[in-house]
Chains A and B, each alone.
Chain A
Amino acid sequence: MINRGILIIFALLTFACEQDLAPISGCTDENATNFNPNAVTDNSNCIYFSTTPYTIEIPYGFPNMIIPQNNPMTVEGVNLGEKLFNDPILSADNSLACINCHDKSSSFSDPNQYSTGIDNIQGTRNASALVNIGWNSSFNWDGSAQSLEEQAFEPVTNPIEMHDKWQNVENKINTNLEYKDLFLKAFNIDYIDSNHIVMAIAQFERTLISSDSKFDRYIRGEEQLTPSELSGYAIFNSEKGDCFHCHGSQMFMDNRFHNNGLDIEPFTDLGLGYVSGNSNDNGKFRTPSLRNIEYTSPYMHDGRFISLEEVVNHYNSGGNYSSTVDPLMKKIGIGLQLTNEEKQDLVSFLKTLSDENFITK
């Protein structure tokens, strides 16, 4: 108010002194995004920075989503993030976007065992599904990133992925008028830096929420499960199958790392041990959510299993002993000893976690 008063007085003074010059007309409010310091008369066309808050609806049985204070969810940020996620501009030769290895129809995972980067080089791990990852406390199979923002920095510069340089990406995006406008509206910035690029992508990723599977409808009392699915549900939640200790709750994951007996030592991929440097963590990987598991083949950190039947067979045979194998794999070498029918029931139940709207809408 006082500022405006001073401006008006200033304007009047200027006007009074330079009557012979035509007054510059523009926005005279310095809080506006188009404030013109040279303007002396306000043209009533001030534009103010404002965003529309994006509200995350927390599904039944889920905790609150922890959103970084410096990156609040906005409709503008989410839409911008989705555009970036789908845009190959992030890769050095403009050929590869996030979506290419995180395919929507595969619940944002790669149906190929290993993803192929712009230089035709393959990695050694299967690209993770992006489903309900706003509730993850760490990212990547080995937990190497602690936030979605941090995670999004990595593939852009990874030589076997997008193989770009952030300065180059910034240069490309800053010469794109559409992005200039979208970043101004989402973050009120003139120069687009890498921080804001990953912030937008992270906002979009937090909206990838799946909670409308057949199982959810069953929990809500809207749909019945078949006898086979119910039998699988019971095996899943008993210590016979003992799936729930790692894939428990409505999230179907535990935000922890385990060695589930895939390999004997020495491990070819140290997983968490590579990140923590602690040999007790060797061979441990993040528990993936089982939501949409039907769509996210192949399975395990290295995509070694094509079908859910193979995954169930792994647990049914008990897996391999190693010094870091999880004590929850308590029937190591013996296995769950499920009958063929029980194994089929378990797979039927896992398929009730499929949310078709999530991969099609």
Chain B
Amino acid sequence: MDKYILIFLCTSLLFSCTKNEGCTDPVANNFDVNASLDDGSCDYNNYNINLHFTQSIESNPLIKDSLTYLNHSNINYSVQTLRYIISEIKLHKEDGTSKLIDSVQFINIADESTKKVTISDVTDLEYTSISFTVGLNDSYNVTNLFLNESFFPSFTWPEMLGGGYHYMQLEGEFQADLANGNPSFYNTHTGPTSGADFSFNKTFPIELYVINNQTDIYIDMEITNWYKNPELINYSSDGIMGNSSLQSKLKENGENDVFSVYSSE
């Protein structure tokens, strides 16, 4: 054992004579242009990126359980349940490099702690765009892959319907005439119907503003737009988990203008 330590020390000495030691990472605060051998002394600024997941109806923050919203056909509706998965959240630089900041994020509007995530291992903020997947793409959406995540078992998508997990559970009441009878329920559940991949990617430019080493990014879902632009979708009490054509329309609307990203100033 001692022999190895001796050899290591000798080797280290040998190297120190021939090369300059120091911080060799240009991103670090103490980057040493003369150093050719990294000595582990690099000092970085660590930034916190706060990712916020927000939900809106007609540009206003969603009010849960409120049967006061009107859809494109003047049907009253409410949102009682909204849970969804955003995955593969990446920040990109102009030079084409990117950083994965969150692989799978489960958002449940009934649980505040799921609506914000802080990424703390960020060492520079030269990012110009953000991308993410709405739902889980084929490689992630595998039965039993996420047994220990908080969205198991309630997000399970039965094997018979394609297997894996829901992308979104958006549920609430709808009623044409509030004065007449009880409301009905809609269940807009998206996911891998018949094993097809209905997840989609979105990319948005971003400008990051830093205050006290913190920067905030907001990923907003405009709920109303799932049901219009371009495809008009009406509320129904029928399940849609086996309905590929509706899943396809929801994907089309989702890709169009359901999501937006902004950062704080």
A interface residues with partner B (beta carbon < 8 Å):
61-64, 233-234, 237-240, 242, 244-245, 248-249, 251, 253-256, 280, 321, 327-334
Contacts and interface: CB of A to CB of B under 8 A. Distances in A.
A143 B44 CA distance: 47
Which residue, of B81, B153, B160, B185, has the highest number of chain A Cβ atoms within 10 A?
Answer: B153
Interface in B158-211: 158-161, 171-173, 182, 184-187
* Interface SS of B by simple majority: loop
Contact of A327 (B153, B154, B156, B186): B186
Given A321-B182, A327-B81, 16 more contacts: A61-B144, A62-B147, A64-B147, A64-B148, A238-B239, A238-B241, A239-B238, A248-B154, A248-B156, A249-B153, A253-B153, A327-B171, A327-B173, A327-B187, A330-B185, A330-B187
Contacts of B187: 239, 327-328, 330
B239 A254 contact: no
B22 interface: no
B244 interface: no
A331 B156 CA distance: 21
B63 to A, nearest CB: 13
B39 interface: no
8 contacts: A239-B187, A239-B242, A242-B239, A255-B154, A321-B182, A327-B186, A328-B171, A330-B238
A244 B173 CA distance: 21
Interface of B: 65, 80-81, 144, 147-148, 152-154, 156, 158-161, 171-173, 182, 184-187, 237-242
Contacts of A62: 147
B239 A248 contact: no
A237 B153 CA distance: 14
Contacts of B65: 280
A61 B147 contact: yes
A275 to B, nearest CB: 16
A330 B240 CA distance: 12
B27 to A, nearest CB: 38
A330 to B, nearest CB: 4
A64 to B, nearest CB: 6
Contact of B158 (A237, A332, A333): A237
Given A61-B144, A239-B239, A331-B237, A248 B158 contact: yes
Given A238-B161, A327-B171, A333 B81 contact: no
A331 B185 CA distance: 7
A57 to B, nearest CB: 15
A237 B186 contact: no
Contacts of B185: 327-330, 332
A63 B144 CA distance: 9
A332 B182 contact: yes
Given A239-B241, A327-B187, A330-B185, A244 B154 contact: no
A144 B152 CA distance: 22
B83 to A, nearest CB: 11
Contacts of A233: 160
Nearest to B173: A327
